[in-house]
Amino acid sequence: MTLLIIGLALFFVPHAVSIAADPWRTAMIRRLGAGPWKGLYSLVSIAGFVLIIKGYAEARGAPIVLWTPPPGMKHATAFLMLAGFPLFLATYLPGRIKTAVKHPMLAATKVWALAHLLANGTLADVLLFGSFLVWAGLVRMSMKWRAVPRHIPAAPASKYNDAIAVVGGLFIYGVFVVWAHRALFGVSPV
In the predicted model, is pLDDT for residue 45 greater than 90? yes
Domain boundary residue among 46, 62, 78?
A: 62
Encode pLDDT of 144-158 as tens digits: 877 667 778 899 999
Q: What are phi and psi of 151, to 5 degrees?
A: -80, 130
Encode pLDDT of 116-135 as tens digits: 999 999 999 999 999 999 99
Give how many domains the chain has, as a whole number: 2
Residue 161 pLDDT level (bands cut at 50, 70, 90):
very high
- Asked if 105 and 138 sit in the same domain, the reply is yes
Q: Answer yes or no: are the C-beta atoms of 104 and 146 closer than 8 Å.
A: no
Domain boundary residue among 62, 80, 100?
A: 62
3-state secondary structure of 87: helix
Residue 177 has what DSSP assignment? Answer: I
List 65's β-bridge partners, or say none: 122
Distance of CA 188 to the CA centre of its chain: 20
Average pLDDT, the chain: 94
Residue 21 pLDDT level (bands cut at 50, 70, 90):
confident
Domain boundary residue among 62, 91, 107?
A: 62
